[in-house]
Amino acid sequence: MDNFDGKVGVVTGAASGIGRSMAERLCSEGMSVVLADIEEENLHETVDQIVADGGTATGVVTDVSSKDAIENLASETMKKYGAVHVLHNNAGVVAAGLLDDLTVNDWEWTIGVNLWSVIYGIQTFLPLIKESGEGHIVNTSSSEGLQASAGTGAYNVTKFGIVALTETLSNELNPFPKINASVLCPGPVRSRIVESERNRPERLWNDGAPAAGLVENDQSSDLLAGAMDPALVAELVVQAIQTNRFWIITHDETKEVVQQRAAALLENGSLSAPLYDFSE
Ligand SMILES: NC(=O)c1ccc[n+]([C@@H]2O[C@H](COP(=O)([O-])OP(=O)(O)OC[C@H]3O[C@@H](n4cnc5c(N)ncnc54)[C@H](O)[C@@H]3O)[C@@H](O)[C@H]2O)c1
């Protein structure tokens, strides 16, 4: 899809970080964009800003781990703009913990937000994109979808799952030359991902209390201070859609890890040291 003008896009996790930059970028390319997020206030602030900057956008408060909510997002999109061409399944969260510490609640929350959301997104939106005749689905995985660091096991499983889902989707789209898919595997990007716990629903808290996660909620963190600008990630995603490329790997370090991994795999070898380690 090389011409975005007048088309319709949907971005999840659009009130912050990568999703927000994607929504802004698609609007600046002339698309009408539906922004979905669970954080109502930030969502409306983002939509208001985009509209004030001359974009066409609307917000739909959505918990992406709910099938009903994704179906509502699709019907609101069709009601408002009558078609959909680009879907970016992007919302995601991280529950920190070693495998013998992660709770069932940690797993359920992470798999719901990161993986079920993408399954529901594809099931619900692909038929609508096919009706539009052309389009693109982007799913946000991670460098942790290509290697599995210590300390984020549930996250890693969902991100590997997203790579598998998107690869399957791309293969199944072969009969539809005007509809394609890409998987986004970012390294560190400036965002609020390390404060993911802010959005964990109470029913999935551990021990009846919200957890700190990788950093305390609402604390600015040094962890991602020098990380990539999300606007640059959005630029890479738009280029991938325009030139129909499947893999969107943002960082050279990730490419090196993939190279080492492939070499070890072909030799029946051992894992090399992971790029990141969240086990402390
Ligand atoms: N920032 C990084 O370094 C990095 C690296 C690799 C992958 N990613 C991935 O990028 C994606 C975007 O994250 P980000 O880094 O911009 O973080 P972020 O926390 O800034 O943005 C994530 C957005 O998802 C929303 N969200 C959380 N739970 C939700 C739910 N149940 N329903 C709907 N929306 C929900 C949040 O409110 C937030 O607006 C995630 O999938 C993340 O795993 C980020």
Q: Give tens-digit pLDDT for 227-242.
A: 999 999 999 999 999 9
Gap from CA of 195 to ligand 1 centroid (Å): 10
Q: E strands along 26-126, which residues? A: 32-37, 56-61, 86-89
What is d(CA 14, CA 22) in angstroms, rounded to the nearest whole number?
8
* Cβ neighbours of 188 (radius 10 Å): 20
The verdict on whether 155 is a catalytic residue reads yes
**Residue 124 dihedral angles phi and psi, to the nearest 5°:** -85, -40
| CATH number (domain holding residue 25) | 3.40.50.720
21 lines ligand 1 (CB under 6 A): no
What's the total number of domains in the chain?
Answer: 1
**279 within some domain:** no
Nearest-atom index, ligand 1, CA of 190: 1
**173 within some domain:** yes
Gap from CA of 207 to ligand 1 centroid (Å): 24
Asked if residue 116 lies in contact with residue 1, where contact means CB atoms within 8 angstroms, the answer is no
pLDDT value at position 275?
76
Model confidence band, residue 219 (pLDDT cutoffs 50, 70, 90): low
**2 within some domain:** no
**165 within some domain:** yes
Q: Give tens-digit pLDDT for 121-178.
A: 999 999 999 999 999 999 999 999 999 999 999 999 999 999 999 999 999 999 999 9
What is d(CA 68, CA 226) in angstroms, rounded to the nearest whole number?
38
State which of 108, 193, 232 you would mutate to test the pocket of ligand 1, scoring each by most atoms of that ligand within 8 A of its C-beta: 193
Asked if residue 85 lies in contact with residue 138, where contact means CB atoms within 8 angstroms, the answer is no
Residue 214 has pLDDT above 90, yes or no: no
Residue 225 has pLDDT above 90, yes or no: no
pLDDT value at position 220?
61
Asked if residue 91 lies in contact with residue 110, where contact means CB atoms within 8 angstroms, the answer is no
**273 within some domain:** no
Mean pLDDT on 247-275: 92
62 lines ligand 1 (CB under 6 A): yes
Task: Tell me the helices (H) and strands (E) count for the chain, helix number first.
Answer: 8, 7
**275 within some domain:** no
Question: Closest residue (by CA) to atom 1 of ligand 1?
Answer: 189
**Domain with 93 in it:** 8-266
**276 within some domain:** no
